[in-house]
Amino acid sequence: MAGSLVQFPGPGCVVEFMQGNKAVQAWVLESQGASLRLLTEGRREIRLALPRLLPWYGPQYAPGPERQEIAALLERHRVRREELAAGIDMEAIWELAQGEVERAPAAWLAELIWAEPDADQVAAMGHAALECKSRFKFSPPAFEIYSAEKAAARKIEEEAREKREAFASRGGEFFRSLWEIHCGRRGPLRPEELPPPELAGALETILRGRLADPELHDADGSWKLLVKSLPEEPHLPLRLAVAWGLVPEHHNVWLDQAGYDASPRWAELFGGEIEALRRNTAAAVEECAALEEKGNPAFSDAFCSIDAASTRDVDDAVSLIRDADGSFKISLIFACPALCWPFGGALDKAVLRRASSIYLPEGDLHMLPENVGLGLFSLSTREKRPVLRLDAHLDSAGAVVSLEPRLAVARLTSRLTFEGVQAVLEPESEGHQATEEQTAEAGSHREFLHNAYALARLLQEQRLAGGAVITERTDPVIGLEEGEDGETLVYLEPGPVCPAANLLVSELMILANHGLASWAHARGIPLFYRTQDVALPKEFAGVWTEPHEITRAVRNLPAAGLETAPRPHAGLGLKLYAPMTSPLRRYADLINEAQIVHFLQTGSPRFSKQELAAALPLLTTSLDQATRVQRSRPRYWKLLFFRQMGDRLWWDAVLTEENDHMVTLSLSLAQINVRARRRFFGEKLFPGQKFKVRLGKINPLLGEIQVIDSQEE
């Protein structure tokens, strides 16, 4: 009989198997043990193992019909089964079965509504049960019937899955449109093509999450579903966000990944703490001023700062005289936010996560709120500020005779620039770019500058004797302009060359950091030390200015680390070094300053060594992230400059390293390295060799740049 079920499928039997998520009808042409030769409704012959069949067989026909007749029979059964399945209320079937049995075959379930179900009715019940995943689980050859509790949980899961798939379908289509925009295959979205607000909000949240963390765990698979039809692209979230208009074309994705809030309003949440800090600082300034009047005479009160012309956060200044015997009396003052800083508060935690100021071509991002770092504590010529003051006496050879820190108040006499100081110290030098006004201002402090420069050279000689590795190079100025079509145009030009001015400032800051570290260590005050504990051959000590010399020297120096143990810093040639001269710009300096300030006030440090060690992991991570931004973003603009200039221009380069297959060159203008295949450069190569190169295949976002041609100068 055509409607009867069979136990074992033989030739002429109608069977089903799963293909994807759909049951497919087939006709058994031949049975060979556990293998069947089948003809599908689409008239395709296949071989299938018996266990692959769905566990309902029939009806059984006599073998031998023509293939066209077989196809018509299969279609008739398929249509009937689909119609029957559509009419089955699986919720009612589950209510009848639940509690009666834990497992049941499709035939048993079919008997709940049909007295003697035929093959099509049993198959239809099987189809319906397969679809009702919130109530039944197919465990061949039967269906597991969920309990009420498990069915409720499965229903919630099923609804969530359906919602997720619908979200992925609509969102994925929108993302494909954004990708088409990025690739230039279509224009911007029309208003009617934008997703509804709820969907748009969810998609924006996902994209911004991916901008901040490209490796973000895809807990519910949403991201994978949304982008499954898009090509793999390292910065796919950024490409889509730019195409959507969520972020500008040259968005700084490294800031997102660092979690560094670039908004000028980031500190508005801390208005109460900032106001309390302002009041407490004002009271402390009055107290320090009263102490100044009672004693502690200064060597001099004519303090000059030396910074770049654009500097707004002035955190150090110096006063110096040279006695007749050649010895030096020097006073260094440092901005003192640590005096009343609210450690442990919400503002402090936010500043710790920033960890450092970041200086970029598109603008500066300050570690402290601007009304604090630039307003309340930055050293000024107009009014006195609280300062940590370091008075030192050095002999004629630059050796420290005495050194003592104290709290004070001070006001700047002058703000000098590197360019102006360079013009005074080495008037015949080129490339300093000093204006007449800058030169005149520095010239009014000529004797002070020459004495300070003499001391700086003595200090550098001492460090070189201790094995210091000193590298000097001038970074270019990166400028950004908006073109007529709104495109950001990048220009690169050589930066000011101020070696004497840089030497003066850097050596005095190193003197202060080393001197205060030694002073604190002798008194058992825990600090964050900058260390680089590695043994270097004596020949690496020196001042290196050429690109290949710098590469050779730096290659043997591991990155300096921050730790609580006072270990040597090989690159500086010092036995211990603790950064504290930039408390407006670096959180480690702020902590170290706080340690000394608290000791001067109370006789004990603010934090124990254990507390510093506990804070170190978060501080190190935050510093690493800020450093990555500071390194990656200028490189991005430099590569964009070269891409905008095209691949036909020739650029100066110096070979710094070479091996059998590759060479490394330093691009003279940009001060960045590029690797290239050796075959572009001939046979005889040596470090320091000069070339002209053409550049191409530039991807600023990925940091990629290639040499496409070269010629020796």
The one-letter amino acid at 647: D
Q: Is 34 helix (H, G, I), strand (E, B) or coil?
A: coil
pLDDT surpasses 70 at 662: yes
Q: What's residue 292's pLDDT? A: 65
Residue 680 predicted with pLDDT over 90: no
Domain formed by 646-712, architecture: Beta Barrel (2.40)
Task: Tell me the C-alpha distance between 668 and 691, whole Å.
Answer: 10
Model confidence at 27, pLDDT cuts 50, 70, 90, reads very high
Give the pLDDT confidence score for residue 99 in this predicted structure.
Answer: 82
Per-residue pLDDT reduced to its tens digit, 91-136: 999 999 988 889 999 999 999 999 999 999 999 999 999 999 889 9
Residues 331 and 300 sit within 8 Å (Cβ to Cβ): yes
Place of tokens 């600082």: 281
Residue 299, pLDDT score: 43
**pLDDT given for residue 298 in this prediction:** 44
Residues 146, 129 contacting (CB under 8 angstroms): no
Answer positive or negative: Cα dihedral of 655, 658, 663, 666.
Answer: negative
CB atoms within 10 A of CB 387: 27
> Binning pLDDT at 50, 70 and 90, where does residue 556 land?
confident
Q: Is the pLDDT of residue 2 over 60?
A: no
Q: Measuring CA to CA, which residue among 170, 96, 156, 89 is closest to residue 125?
A: 89
CATH 2.40.50.140 domain locations along the chain: 646-712
Q: Residues near 21 by Cβ (< 8 Å), separated by ≥ 6?
A: none
Residue 269 one-letter amino acid: L
DSSP type of residue 356: B
Q: Per DSSP, which regions of 277-367 are E strands?
A: 303-307, 316-322, 328-335, 358-360, 363-365
Tell me the pLDDT band of 293, cut-offs 50, 70 and 90.
low
Alpha carbon distance 22, 291 (integer Å): 88
CB-based contacts of 265, cutoff 8 Å, min separation 6: none
Distance CA 430, CA 84 (A): 93
* Element holding 284 (H helix, E strand): helix 271-294
Would you say the C-alpha torsion 595, 598, 603, 604 has a positive or negative sign? negative
408-462 pLDDT per residue, tens: 999 999 999 999 999 999 998 888 889 999 999 999 999 999 999 999 999 999 9
Average pLDDT over residues 342-348: 96
Nearest Cα neighbor of 654 from 707, 699, 577 is 707
Residue 288 scores a pLDDT above 80: no
